[in-house]
Amino acid sequence: MKQLIRPSRLQPGDTVATVSLSAGLAGTPQLRWRYEQGKRRLQEVFGLRVVEMPHTLAPQDHVAAHPEDRAADLMQAFADPQIKAVFSCIGGSDSIRLLPYIDYDVIAANPKIFCGYSDTTVNHLMCYKAGLASFYGPAVLTDFAENVAMSRYTVRAVRQSLFETDPVGNVPVAGAVIAPRSNWDEANKKLQRCYEPNAPYLLLQGRETVRGRLIGGCFEVLSNLRGTELFPPAEDFDDAILFLETSEVHAPVWMIEDGLRTLGAMGVLQRLSGILWGRPQGGVLFEEYAAAIPAVLAEFGCTELPVLYNASFGHNEPKMILPYGTLAEIDSEKCRFAILESGVV
């Protein structure tokens, strides 16, 4: 994998920006309370100063119709030296439409923290193409705006990954998971969502302890990016740990199988040192995915490749943060995952 620039850590008092790069839900009147709640958490829990870009809170139909405005917001946020980090409001389905309007030189010349998940995978790979290490992690409307209070697991992940320069170290799964997204009516804002007990990591295959630099994202989005300028070349997966997770649409098993087969046909699977796979949201198709993944890997002779399953990231709340390009470790014997470096300097 190519060497990535690590951005500077955050400190209380820093200015950060929020951006709507895909779905314009932050600008929807009935969800504005949700955005404001997430913004307050960034301010009150982490001591940050939050600013919006010109179209962060634009009407949803405007955001949908104008990818050039979304891209301009992202470029402006990176170009502004006062802004130390950029947080995605939420994912969606069409961040790829920003591609013609991205200036990679602006990103490369202004390295800073970029954080989000889901369709924001597209924007992470824009950062990757520019040579910047970004952070697959929480979004404003989801994790930061969690009803009543943020999960301590997510708060700790934010502090460890974005504010501290020590190696992150061992990353356990969240001991309890929050039931899938409830109705976001403002009347429900004081209702704490239910936590359910979570299982530990599950080793699907492999026996060794392996190390590799992190690369990956949302499975469906990565699959859609094959053949574009954003999908990394095959050699960038050499000795990497590929992290994958599925979205709230609950991809059918055949889609998982077909997507993995394509990665095998591209020679990607054979280059990896390991795979970290996120818990399917709500545990839907948990056992079916767990069976399908090793079956497809076997088709490409990858039966010894360590695969650690049920990780707490992506479309799970609470969630860990995965810094692209950072050295990580899968310990198959102890069923453990660790991030061996800091994602920031």
Domain positions in the chain are: 15-166, 176-339
Q: Residue 167: pLDDT band by 50, 70, 90 thresholds?
A: very high
Asked: is 176-339 a CATH 3.50.30.60 domain? The reply is yes
| Whole-number pLDDT of residue 194 | 85
Q: Are 195 and 177 in contact (CB under 8 A)?
A: yes
180 pLDDT more than 80:
no
| Whole-number pLDDT of residue 182 | 67
Q: Residue 187: pLDDT band by 50, 70, 90 thresholds?
A: confident
| Whole-number pLDDT of residue 221 | 98
Q: Minimum mean pLDDT among 189-203, 245-259, 313-327: which range?
A: 189-203
Beta bridge partners, 169, equal 339
Beta bridge partners, 329, equal 211, 338
Residues in the chain: 345
Q: Which amino acid is at 331?
A: D
User: Which one, of 315, 310, 317, lies nearest residue 335 by Cα?
Assistant: 310
Residue 24 neighbours by CB under 8 Å, 6+ apart? 58, 59, 60, 61, 62, 63, 64
45-48: long-range contacts, CB 8 A cutoff, minimum separation 24: 45/150, 45/155, 46/10, 46/12, 46/158, 46/159, 46/163, 47/12, 47/13, 48/10, 48/12, 48/13, 48/14, 48/15, 48/16, 48/85
- Average of pLDDT values for 233-260? 97
7 pLDDT more than 90:
yes
| Whole-number pLDDT of residue 2 | 87
Query: Quick check: do 15-166 and 176-339 share a fold?
Result: no
193 pLDDT more than 90:
no
- Average of pLDDT values for 277-305? 98
* pLDDT, tens digit, 9 for 90 and up, residues 115-161: 999 999 999 999 999 999 999 999 999 999 999 999 999 999 999 99
183 pLDDT more than 80:
no
Kindly state the helix (H) or strand (E) to which residue 52 belongs, with its residue range. Answer: strand 49-52
- Average of pLDDT values for 337-345? 98
Q: Which amino acid is at 153?
A: Y
Q: Which amino acid is at 282?
A: G
- Average of pLDDT values for 92-113? 98
Say which residue the tokens 């403002």 belong to: 186
| Whole-number pLDDT of residue 90 | 98
189 pLDDT more than 90:
no
How far, in Å, CA of 345 to CA of 324, rounded? Answer: 14
- Average of pLDDT values for 201-224? 98
The answer to whether the peptide bond before residue 67 is cis (omega within 30 degrees of 0) is no
Q: Measured on CA atoms in the order 192, 194, 200, 204, is the torsion positive or negative?
A: negative
- What fold does the segment set 15-166 form as a domain? Rossmann fold (3.40.50)
Residue 296: C-alpha distances to residues 234, 265, 301 (Å): 19, 11, 9
How far, in Å, CA of 154 to CA of 316, rounded? Answer: 10
* pLDDT, tens digit, 9 for 90 and up, residues 49-89: 999 999 999 999 999 999 999 999 999 999 999 999 999 99
Residue 44 neighbours by CB under 8 Å, 6+ apart? none
| Complete edge-to-edge strand list for the sheet that includes strand 327-331 | 169-170, 336-339, 327-331, 209-218, 241-245, 274-278, 307-311, 202-205
| Whole-number pLDDT of residue 181 | 66
DSSP 105-149: HHHHHS--EEEE-GGGHHHHHHHHHHTB--EE---IIIIIT-SSS
What average pLDDT does the chain have? Answer: 97
DSSP 311-324: ES-SSSSS---EET
Q: Which amino acid is at 279?
A: R
Residue 133 token pair = 């290490």
192 pLDDT more than 90:
no
